Amino acid sequence: MMKSLKETREDMKQLLKDLEKMIKQGWHKAKSIGKKKEEIHLGYRRTMF
């Protein structure tokens, strides 16, 4: 079950694209989580003072 070099290269490209998508989505999620934490923190500080 050997794939030709061209097929393998295409598979690698697709893999990289998928990986990029995952990283971008993860980054957006991490950013929104960070924002929420900041908002909670700021809200907490407002109630303190």
The amino acid that residue 6 corresponds to is K
The pLDDT confidence band at residue 49, using thresholds 50, 70 and 90, is low
Which pLDDT value is given to residue 29? Answer: 84
Assess contact for 39 and 46: CB atoms under 8 A: no
Closest by CA to 23, choosing from 31, 13, 12, is: 31
Q: Name residues whose C-beta falls within 8 Å of residue 49's C-beta, 6 or more positions apart in sequence.
A: none
Which pLDDT value is given to residue 41? Answer: 75
Which pLDDT value is given to residue 26? Answer: 86
pLDDT tens per residue across span 1-44 = 677 989 999 999 999 999 999 989 988 888 887 888 888 777 76
**What value, to the nearest 5°, has the Cα angle with vertex 10 and ends 6 and 11?**
115
